[in-house]
Structure 1
């Protein structure tokens, strides 16, 4: 069964935060070191706009399985046709093809959103995410070596990108 994508509403923010907080202990997908609160993510959530930079919920069998969002890249007008993509999947729904489904959904929305490039910031040790994006014709546009310090270990950040 194909997942369903719906725009997130303010009422969904606690569930979005809960999924985000699941990945923090793994040190794979975010530089946050402690769980975030709903209140601390309110301004971040408010920046999403279904017409420009959406945040979609990913539902599998009517159950929230993850989310995918597009955010402004670097916040300057000349970068308006490029967005940063983030995908977070609930741990109970890993390995079900939802990351690929999320990318496929976003790719189909790019013309409507006026976007012709996507960037993803992925830790260089996050092999599953790098594999997913590479499989979808993203290439490494940059590498920020050892920019994160997590649990006493330095981590590099790959900048993956694709033009459409």
Structure 2
């Protein structure tokens, strides 16, 4: 199965927020502990320096099944502009079907158009599916921050992975 993507619009925010909040509740891929709102994401989308993509299945282009955002690396300090931080979140019903692979493959090909020479992301060490996905696309472990997150009493190590373009 191949998933497609397009640039996110404000109309996609409810789906993006639902997908992200599923990750918040699962405690597997974000250190946010409280759900977010559509209103809290309006500025994030409107003022983003780089695109956010929404994924969808070609048989149902009206349903957002995941998203990928190109984020500034380390708080957007200009010296880091050659590195982009990727974030991929998938609807729980569309995980393990190739959507993450399709989004990441497209992002690697597209990132040089944004001036990137390097891609990076942070993944909880316990999130083996995400680590496998990024490793399969040439990302290597660049560092590990032990027990830097506490999710309801569970300490989480954070793995930094990256790759040159």
Give the shorter-chain TM-score range.
Answer: over 0.9
1:34 aligns with 2:31: no
Q: State the match for 2:8 in structure 1.
A: 8
Q: State the match for 1:78 in structure 2.
A: 79
- Show the 5 A alignment for 1:39-54: 39-49=39-49, 53-54=50-51
Q: State the match for 1:158 in structure 2.
A: 159
1:59 aligns with 2:56: yes
Q: State the match for 1:141 in structure 2.
A: 142
**Partner-residue secondary structure (3-state), 2:64:** strand
Cα displacement string for residues 28-52 of structure 1 (whole angstroms, at most 9, x for unaligned residues): 1001112111122222222324xxx
**Distance across 2 between alignment mates of 1:48 and 1:105:** 19
Q: CA deviation at 1:154?
A: 1.1
**Distance across 1 between alignment mates of 2:133 and 2:2:** 18
Q: CA deviation at 1:158?
A: 0.7
For these two proteins, the number of residue pairs brought into alignment is: 161
**Distance across 2 between alignment mates of 1:22 and 1:153:** 18
Q: TM-score, normalised by structure 2?
A: 0.92
Q: CA RMSD in A?
A: 1.2
1:87 aligns with 2:88: yes
**Distance across 1 between alignment mates of 2:48 and 2:65:** 19
Q: State the match for 1:19 in structure 2.
A: 19
**Distance across 2 between alignment mates of 1:142 and 1:44:** 27
Give unpaired runs (5+ residues) of structure 2: none
Cα displacement string for residues 54-100 of structure 1 (whole angstroms, at most 9, x for unaligned residues): 10010102131110110101211111111000001111111111110
**Distance across 2 between alignment mates of 1:65 and 1:117:** 26
**Distance across 2 between alignment mates of 1:120 and 1:69:** 11
Give unpaired runs (5+ residues) of structure 1: none
